Structures are given as C-alpha cells and as structure tokens.
Structure 1
Amino acid sequence: MAYPALTVLDGWTLLAGLAALAWVFLLLGRGAFWRGDQRLPAAPAPARWPAVTAVVPARNEAEGIGACVRALLAQDYPGALAVIVVDDQSSDGTADLARAAARETGAETHFRVLSGAPLAKRWSGKLWAMQQGMEAAGEVPFLWFTDADIVHGPLVLRQLVAYAESRGLALTSLMVMLSCRGWWEKLLIPPFIFFFQKLYPFRWVNDPRRSAAGAAGGCMLVRRSVLDKAGGLAAMGAALIDDCTLAALLKPLGPIWLGLGTQSRSLRHYRHLGEIWQMVARSAYVQLRHSPWRLAAAVLGMLFLYALPVLGVIWGVCAAKPLLLGLGVLGSVLMMLSFWPTLRLYGRGARWLPTLPLAALLYTAMTVDSARRYYRGQGGAWKGRTYGPKEGGR
C-alpha cells in the first residue's frame, strides 16, 4: 500500500506539533523549573553558630568592591565572621578601596586584603584566588565564597548557615538578583535566569536522590570538611564554570541546595549587548564540554523550542493552515506561560513575554561564538586572561 508523501506544510505542522508537545513535557516533567519557587526556607537557629570566613576573589573590581565589603561586614551574624578579599593582580586600586570600606565600618579586625600570587599553571584565575583565600582562612567550619560585585542583605549569612546546619548541607547557594535596568538587560537577563533554571532544575539539584548538581558562583556557602574530603579546590583547579563544577564535586559527599535569592543583588551593570555577549561566550562552549556534537544539538534544540512555535504561527496565517496555526499558538502560549514567573521575579510586565524567542536566538548565537573563540585559542577570555584548548590559563 502506498502512502502519500508529506507536503512541506504537512511537515511543518508535524514539527509544530512536536514543539508544542515538548513544551508540555518541559512544563510537567522537568522539575517544575519554570516556577522559580526554590527560595531559602526559614530554619531554626543552631545551638552554636559556627565560624564563617567570607572569601572574595577580586580582579579589577573597583566599581563594586566597596559596597560589597561594607555589606559583608554589616552581616547580622551571631557567630564569628571574617572577611578576606583576595586581590588578584588588580590594576585599578581594588585593594585600597576594599581597605577604605572596611575602615568605614569600624570592623577592620575581622577583615584583611590578601595580595594574590601570580596565576599558577592549571588553575583558572577565579579558582586560584579562591584557593589562596581558603588557605588564609585556616580550618574554619564554613567558607562563604562570594563575588566582589555583589551586595548581600544583612540577614543573608544568618539564613544560609541556619538552613545549612538544619539540613547538614555540603553546599548552600543562591542565585542573586542580577541587574535588570537597561534595555539589553531587560531583554536578556530574565531569559538568562530562565535558561539556567531549565539547564539545572533547582528541585532536582536539591533532591539528594538525583545526580543533578548546580550552584551560582556569586553566593556559595561551603562546609569546609566536605570540601577537604573531596580533594579541595585543587580537584577542579582549571574549571572555568567554577560554581557548577564545585556542586558536582560535592554532591556525592553530601546534600546541596540551590535557590533564588532576593536579598542579594549584583552591582554589575551590562550597558551594552557586547558585555552580556562576552559574559556568555567565555564559558558557553565549556558547558557543552567542547563537543561539536553537543553544540549542534544545542543549536537545533533552541531553534526547535523557541523558533518553531513562532514560525508555525506566521506560516499558519500566511498559508491559511488552521492546524499549523493552532499548534504554533499552543507552543507559543506554553513557552510564554513557562517564562512568566521569571519575568515577574524581575518586575517585567507581560509585554516582554513575546521577546523570549529573540533572546533565545541571541543566546544561541553567543554559544556558537563561544565555540568559534575556543578553536581560535580565545576561549574563556576574561579580565585580561584567556583559556585556550590546551591550557588552563595564561
């Protein structure tokens, strides 16, 4: 029996239907990532508040280091808290600004600036700075790794430690609020958070029964004994995606937790598309393990999920195909429905919902550019350092 060949439009209808089905699966079957509901729960105070050392790797962070230091030293934490800023070969006065901020708070006895040594072989810059800070901290129960451009609310550390102690967590991490003021930030930052949650479903990360592991490098409270048991930061010294690599290293040894933090915010303002592009392109291909096949799959997957529903709507209207139009509308509605909680988190209105496909195409282009840079020996370029195919950093 002969079967009629599918026409081009029938083929598009099938693809639009599959894309809509994929969005149904994402809404129902990927840890409800899109809800954005993983927030740091309240926890009882521990019988004894453990000592914590905050380690801040800082390379040319003059713009935000003062506010960062003041916020760290102003933490309402009942236990002992020390703050170490590791000045990683800065040339913009980062160290002096950090010291001045500490003097303003009157808490200089709990603060020090460590002059970072030149980058060691087989280490990425940030991890090398974190390693030096960890060594200077000594045998403290908890290390709080946080970025130099982040300002934490006064209760953040208290809440992190209380929850970590109540659950026996090896790693407790918060995705802080990123800057979302300029037009490019409004277009690209909420999708960045959305894609991160899709890639690392927070509920799965927080489930000890699952292997999924993720973290956000701007705020990571680490139990020192578990980190030492895992081999320390030296076990991942060349990693460019330090946060998720650390999460994967620690989860086999103890539970971890990742959530959205609304009391901490990043001061880094992305004024132009190029700044966001650089931030993504430096590590996107690393996330794909430098695999051309994974790159191809990622590109096709992004086009399938974010471009096909929109094309289905356009083609369905132009070709007067009601089924194609309906499937395109269904896929587009499901896409926007999943994006809505993240958009609301960043205070954006419904008019930004239709911009998600555009943002997805831009992030796809950034990922392709990340691969191009890698093969040209420019992979991981950041703050004057590059990390090429055959070496950890230079």
Structure 2
Amino acid sequence: MGQTAAVSAFLWITAVSLAAWVWLLLCQGFFWRTDVRLPSRREPAAWPSVCVVVPARDEAAVLPASLPSLLAQDYPGRAEVFLVDDGSTDGTGELARELSRRHGGLPLTVGSPGEPPAGWTGKLWAVRHGIALARAREPEFLLLTDADIAHTPDSLRELVAAAGTGGFDVVSQMARLRVDSLWERLVVPAFVYFFAQLYPFRRIGRAGARTAAAAGGCVLLRAAMAERARLPDAIRHAVIDDVALARAVKGAGGRVWLGLADKVDSVRPYPRLHDLWRMVSRSAYAQLRHSPPLLVGTVAGLVLVYLVPPAALVAGVAAGGPATAVLGTLAWAVMTGTYVPMLRYYRQPLWLAPLLPFTAFLYLLMTVDSAVQHYRGRGAAWKGRTYARPGAVTDEA
C-alpha cells in the first residue's frame, strides 16, 4: 500500500514537472530561441560621440586579445577609450599603455581610482572613475565593456546605430563565451540558457515590460540616462551589476534591449570545473538576494524541473510504471529540445542536449555552495575582495 502511494505521488510530481516544461516552452517569453540579435538599425546622419569605459583588475593575461580590438574600432564619430586600472598587481595599466603605443587606433587614457570605499564593489568604483574621466568629453554614449571582451571592428558602430534607431537607452549584448574545454562545453551554454530563462530577452526589449537585465560585458548606455538614473552610484553595492543597471534605467523611464552577440566575444578561459564553479558561485546567492527561502525554493525548482524527468524515466522503467516513464520522457524531451538552439548558437554537438539535467545538478550544487560561502564570510569574493550583502553596509548618499 505504501509503495503504491509512493509510486502514485511520484507520478503526480512527474506530471507537474511536464506541465512546468510546457509552460516554460510556451509562456516564458520563448526564452529558448536564440534569434534575438541586434535590432534593425540605420546609420545616423551625424555619429554621436562615445567614450568606452573598461574596468580592469589583474587582466594582463587577457588584455592583448581584447584591448587592441577596442582601439581598432572603425567608428565614424569621435570615440576614445578609458581603461581604469583597479589596483592591479600584474602590470595591467602599463600593459594597456604599451598595447596602445604598439597598435594605435582610438585614444587611450589609463586611470586608477584607488581602493573602493565601503559600500562599493571594486568594478563599479572603477566604472564610476571611468565615467568621471569621460564626462569631460561630454559624450552622448558610454560603452561599458569588460577587459576580457573582444569586439569586431564594426561592433561600436552597430551598437550606436541600434540604440539610435530603436530609441534605446541601453543596448547590451551577451558576449559569446569561450567553449574550448570539455567543462566549458558542458557548463557555458547552459549558463546563458539559464540566464535567458530567468530574463527572457524578448520581454526585456518590449516597451512597458517590467523584466530588466543586461550583460555586463557589453553595455552601451546613453550618458544622459546615466545621469538621470544616478549610475553607477545608485547600484554601487550590486554584485550582479548588469541586472541592477538595467533595473535602474527602466526605473528612470528608460528603454533597455538585450540580446545575443555575433561580434562580441569573451576571451577569458575557464578550462577547469573549478574555474567555472567560482564564476557561478561567487554571485549565485546574491542573485537570490541572500534569502534562505528563495534558496530553498530555487533548489526545489531545479529538482522538479531538471532532475525529476530523468529520474522518472529510470524509476518508471525499473518499477514497471509506464505512465511515470512516459511523462518523464516527454518532460526530458521538451527540456532537450529547448536547449538545442543554444548549443547551435555555441556551435556545440547536439549530443550535449540530453545532458542538461547533469549540468543543472552542477548549478544546484554551485548555488548551495554560494550560500555556504556567504555564511562563512567568503561570499561574493572576486579577485581578492569579498563583498558584504547590501544590508550590511552603510548606505551613503
């Protein structure tokens, strides 16, 4: 009797998992589609001025592959680059100057803001310093881009044209991350897939939609909107600064567009599982606003949506429960099908698609580890700095 009740309960759980996948497939902004690229655009009669702000901390290993691509931008208007050396110990600032002397191109200014005060993350303190340096040039746009991001020569031109044509205050592209090692192939496409599931790109760009997000590696921002939204001061303690920036812009009445990139790539390698684990776990609990109930709900959701389908298939076959096996197979099939477009975008073999439950389990463990590290006082740690939760710092005006 007890075994029958357990089988019946698992059948219902599997049915709920399948229903969740049908809802995700049809009602979550078609998050699984990868055709959200730069919107239609036309070149302006007069190109606005742009200042590129690059926060950099110990980035000497990646700068030779990224900074020359910024200096080589084929932009018809006035543009220059401000690299902010955030207390590097590996010669990042001097290397940037040497690359500028060697490659030429757009003018480069290297600045250093000193250590961030309490309540600021290092990256946003560096961005603030870079924007302050750029303000003297009175640019119409600011391109905030990370030190590991490489751009094709027409990247800036197309970003500005898209912002002007669509009337957007933010145009952001999620850079194509590196997928060379086995672990990168398993984890990286899923990272973007999960992000799009949380923040469906189509909803973000829709006028009046509340969903807001950006990809911090490539954010074109109107300078006037930065002033109106008090950026980056208004989000100075945000660990997930790109989403916070987009919310601040929408909160100030601005329009945001986010999509996948064709001409913007990350050159930072994550060859080992340990490297990817750190990338995810350093901010996963911050994404949940350091809330234990949200953590429990997230873990339960990951189990229900990603782990139940394969478990139902195995349990149904082993226990002679054909209904459970069929429902689990259907849910797993929908999951696999929604992951295929992302694998194609990353030019990865499609046999990786059925392995998404395994990757989701890794993300579950990373999320739990992020919470554990937070309560041990090591949460949100990055490049030698550990950041407190926002409520633990003094909120200065």
What residue identity is the alignment partner of 1:342? M
Cα distance in 1 between the residues matched to 2:350 and 2:112? 47
Cα distance in 2 between the residues matched to 1:214 and 1:229? 18
Q: Check if 1:35 corresponds to 2:33.
A: yes
Contact 2:231 2:245 in 1 (8 A): no
CA shift for structure 1 position 391: 3.6
Cα distance in 2 between the residues matched to 1:202 and 1:107? 33
Match of 2:286 in 1: 286
User: Secondary structure of 1:245's match?
Assistant: helix
Match of 1:205 in 2: 204
User: Secondary structure of 1:348's match?
Assistant: coil
Q: Check if 1:122 corresponds to 2:115.
A: no
Match of 2:51 in 1: 53
Q: Check if 1:113 corresponds to 2:131.
A: no
Match of 2:66 among 59, 65, 68: 68
Match of 2:348 in 1: 348
Q: Check if 1:271 corresponds to 2:271.
A: yes
Identity across the alignment (%): 44
Cα distance in 1 between the residues matched to 2:309 and 2:3? 23
Cα distance in 2 between the residues matched to 1:88 and 1:251? 28
Match of 2:241 in 1: 242
Match of 2:11 in 1: 13
Q: Please, which runs of 5 or more residues in structure 1 have no aligned partner?
A: none
Cα distance in 1 between the residues matched to 2:354 and 2:211? 30
Cα distance in 2 between the residues matched to 1:232 and 1:391? 19
Match of 2:100 in 1: 102
CA shift for structure 1 position 37: 1.5
Cα distance in 2 between the residues matched to 1:208 and 1:120? 37
Q: Check if 1:134 corresponds to 2:131.
A: yes
Match of 2:81 in 1: 83
CA shift for structure 1 position 348: 1.2
Match of 2:295 in 1: 295
TM-score by length of 1: 0.96
Match of 2:378 in 1: 378
Match of 2:147 in 1: 148
Q: Please, which runs of 5 or more residues in structure 2 have no aligned partner?
A: none
User: Secondary structure of 1:33's match?
Assistant: coil
Contact 2:87 2:112 in 1 (8 A): yes
Q: CA RMSD in A?
A: 1.4
Q: Check if 1:226 corresponds to 2:231.
A: no
CA shift for structure 1 position 232: 2.3
User: Secondary structure of 2:295's match?
Assistant: helix
Cα distance in 2 between the residues matched to 1:81 and 1:10? 65
Cα distance in 2 between the residues matched to 1:339 and 1:232? 35
Contact 2:73 2:105 in 1 (8 A): no
Contact 1:66 1:100 in 2 (8 A): no
Contact 2:176 2:265 in 1 (8 A): yes
Cα distance in 2 between the residues matched to 1:378 and 1:48? 49
What residue identity is the alignment partner of 1:230? A
Aligned pair count?
A: 388
What residue identity is the alignment partner of 2:211? A
TM-score by length of 2: 0.96
Cα distance in 2 between the residues matched to 1:350 and 1:68? 30
After superposition, give the CA deviation of every residue in 1:38-68 in whole Å (9 maximum; x if it has no partner).
Answer: 1013411112100000000000000111222
Contact 1:282 1:382 in 2 (8 A): yes
Match of 1:366 in 2: 366
Contact 2:54 2:82 in 1 (8 A): yes
